[in-house]
Structure 1
Amino acid sequence: MDITATTLKDLKPRNRRIYNAVQKDAVTFLQHADRTGQSSTRVIVELAVGGGNSLHYHRDFEERFECMQGQLSLQVGKEILTLRAGEKAVAPPGVLHRFFNTTDEVCTFKVELVPGHTGFEQALMIGYGLANDGQTNAQGIPINLQHLAVLVHLSGTVPAGPLGMLLPLFSMIAKGAIRKGVLDQLMQKYGI
């Protein structure tokens, strides 16, 4: 569900590449949800050596992973998978998962969200922009609580552990921040 009236189609061209100076990885947008009737979002991730994310799940979409180059480690539920070029895996909605790179070379992989998710796309752009402006910690997590709450709310992502238990609080903070125009400010600064 779109929270802002501005659509990504109005903000950026197809195949836009964003870079995260903190995490040292990049995402290239191949297909935006608003251009597919919300059927899918597709990106290519260039995952840095030692990079990855923490356990989380998505309520509203599945993530389909396909390794293109290097080796991608993926945890889906309790299973740890190692994908090499051409190999695929799926993280269904509601299933804890994470991806990570334990090798000494960058791993490149495709991710498809089904159905597509404009809020996730927006959260990536904002999160990478905040990181590049020194507004995150060493793990790329926004240091401003309103920014963090807005990103969690937008992305459709539920973190595992203690952060996940704070989801109702994040939702309340995010809704207040959105009413105050925080999302619009972040989209103005990082959406283009």
Structure 2
Amino acid sequence: MSFEESEGIVYIPPKAGVSRWVFGDHYTIKADKENTHGSLGLIEALVPPGGGPPLHIHHDSDEAFYLIDGELQISNEQRSEVVGTGAFVFVPRGKVHAFKNIGDKPCKMLIIFTPAGFERFFTELGVSGEGDMPAADAEQYARDLAKAESIVARYAAEYI
């Protein structure tokens, strides 16, 4: 399938996009601020057992999750809920949240940011996403978190 740029339709083929490893999770940016004219960012995520970011908040964007396969614990400051395959979760901007794979296999999910822009955080923070999923590494997680804390404010977000 191919569309001319003048048609205004964006097509990203399977396995295409910018891939990054962040916190041991694999994120592939399928749609971004540039190719959606700022409308939304779309990320395909593969999160290993135990993976996921710490509690955080987006000040300028809403975030939504669609779980394609697996089991996640979605948390805010008060409580946690377990969601499974086929679940959709919407987190409005300004709400503290986190997710964690509590299953025994990787979770596959789509993450949507509206408006677009926060997906650039993954590009800046992560390392090239080519190759197999690395083993969980507490030292690498700590390095990623330190770097994330130093850049996250540029993306109108913060860790709690």
CA deviation profile, 1:70-99 (whole Å, cap 9, x unmatched): 112111452322221211011111111001
Q: Amino acid of the residue matched to residue 40 of structure 1?
A: L
Gaps of 5+ in 1: 1-13, 131-135, 161-192
Residue 19 (structure 2) aligned to one of 17, 25, 39: 17
Percent same amino acid among aligned pairs? Answer: 20
Q: Aligned pair in 2 of structure 1 residues 112, 138: CA closer, same or farther (>3 Å)?
A: closer
- Distance in structure 2 (CA, Å) of the matches to 1:155 and 1:129: 18
Give the corresponding residue for 1:69.
69
Cα separation, 2, equivalents of 1:109 and 1:66: 6
The residue aligned with 2:89 is: 89
Shift in CA distance, 35/108, structure 1 to aligned 2, threshold 3 Å: same
Q: Is the 8 A contact 2:71 2:82 kept in 1?
A: yes
User: Mean Cα displacement is larger for which, 72-81 or 34-43?
Assistant: 72-81
Q: Which letter does structure 1 place at the counterpart of 2:119?
A: E
Give the AA of the match of 2:95. Answer: V
Partner of 2:105: 105
TM-score under structure 2 length normalisation: 0.74
Question: 2:155 matched to 1:142?
Answer: no
Where is the strand percentage greater, Structure 1 or Structure 2?
A: 2
Give the aligned length. Answer: 136
Q: TM-score, normalised by structure 1?
A: 0.63
Structure having greater relative contact order (Cα 8 Å, sep ≥ 6): 2
3-state SS in 1 of match to 2:121 = helix
Are 1:122 and 2:125 matched, yes or no?
no
**Moved >4 Å (runs of 4+):** none
Structure 2 residue runs without a partner (length 5+): 1-15, 129-138
Structure 2 residue identity aligned to 1:138: Y
Which has the larger helix fraction?
A: 1
Rounded to whole Å, the distance in 1 between the matches of 2:65 and 2:18 is: 19
